[in-house]
Amino acid sequence: MSSPVQTFGFLFIWFSCQVNAVTFHQSPPQIVKDSIEVQINCTHDDTNLVIMLWYQQRKNSPSMTLIGYGYESSPNYEGQFEEQFTLTRQSTVKGSLIIKTANLSHSAVYFCAASTHVNNYEPAYFGSGTKLTVLDPNRKITPPTVKVFQPSSKECRNLKDEKERKKTLLCVARDFYPDHVSIFWQVNAKNVTKGVATDPAARLDDKTYFITSRLRVHAEVWTSPGTNFSCFVTFFDGNKTIIKDETVFAVEAYVPSVKTRVKYLRSTQSFKLSYTVFIIKSSIYGAFVAFLVWKLQGSTGKQKY
């Protein structure tokens, strides 16, 4: 029998294609103190999938590591994981992963998977994962501060096609711990997803985290009077979800008043007139200088004779 570690590449590809074929329910995100026992539960709705597998994906790691797998009554562990974890099964479609004594190294996302058999040809179906954070005793749980930065006035200024001009708002959430956050945008109190680009994960800055999100809108939306843009950051502190937000308002496009336009036209005409007079005076002066030079040359020629 092939090891599930060897078959994981195939299993993950199948998961990407068939994720909707089986319905999974995993425990919600958890934030716990160190040195305690942690249990993550999993259920699915297909009794034909008699094998249950558990994977660990650590932060900033693109791959998953198999912890163990097995039938209802016979779990199997990979490497030294048996010393840290216990796999239990309550039925064919229900099981649990137990971390015996959680520590900082156990902070990760844990995925439950199910299959009919462990070999190279049987697909595995995955749950959405459970994010676990084991708190650092030297850090304090802190919700984020949120700041929305308005678009740069220089952005897309040189584009000739006004329909292609866009403006980018930047939302920055920072100084929070742990990193259980998500971000969404609203325009005029309505959720928007088009034009939104959010960092895939929060990044550590000293002892706290920060994350950014960008919203791109057409320039005409940004200059539409009364339009407001709101960035919402949801933060889970282990017991409840806290929402922080900030709103900025559209900057009305500058349209010169009639008085301003008249003043501009007058100043332009005045400038043109002054410039014309200057050219005429310069031409006359140039002609006068040329005449003097010609006279001097004539006088010098007569003295030679």
| Domain residue extents for the chain | 4-134, 145-249, 258-305
Nearest CA to 98 out of 79, 85, 89 is that of 85
CA 145 to chain centre: 16
Residues 6+ apart with CB under 8 A from 198: 183, 211, 212, 213, 214
What integer pLDDT is reported at residue 285 of this predicted model? 63
What integer pLDDT is reported at residue 161 of this predicted model? 57
Residues 6+ apart with CB under 8 A from 114: 22, 24, 44, 46, 49, 51, 52, 53, 93, 124, 125
Residues 6+ apart with CB under 8 A from 262: none
pLDDT per residue, tens digit, the chain (305 aa), is 334 443 333 333 333 334 458 999 999 999 999 999 999 999 999 999 999 999 999 988 889 999 999 998 889 999 889 999 999 999 999 999 999 999 999 999 999 999 988 765 578 899 999 999 999 999 999 999 999 999 998 886 655 556 668 999 999 999 999 999 999 999 999 999 999 999 999 999 989 999 999 999 999 999 999 999 999 999 999 999 999 999 999 986 544 444 545 555 565 566 566 656 666 766 776 666 666 656 666 665 555 44
What integer pLDDT is reported at residue 268 of this predicted model? 55
Residue range 4-134 in CATH 2.60.40.10: yes
Report the C-alpha gap between 52 and 26 in whole angstroms.
Answer: 13
Report the C-alpha gap between 231 and 254 in whole angstroms.
Answer: 26
What integer pLDDT is reported at residue 11 of this predicted model? 39
What integer pLDDT is reported at residue 253 of this predicted model? 54
Q: Do domains 4-134 and 145-249 have the same CATH topology?
A: yes
Nearest CA to 168 out of 214, 236, 226, 117 is that of 214
Mark residue 188 as left, alpha or beta (left: phi above 0; alpha: psi -120 to 50; beta: remaining): left
What integer pLDDT is reported at residue 246 of this predicted model? 98
Q: What is the CATH superfamily name and number for domain 145-249?
A: Immunoglobulins (2.60.40.10)
Q: How far apart are the first and last CA of the chain?
A: 123
Report the C-alpha gap between 58 and 52 in whole angstroms.
Answer: 20
- According to DSSP, the β-strands at 74-77 and 65-71 are antiparallel
What integer pLDDT is reported at residue 260 of this predicted model? 47
Which token pair is 200? 């895939």
Q: Is the pTM of this model over 0.85?
A: no
Q: State the CB neighbour count (10 A cutoff) for residue 138.
A: 6
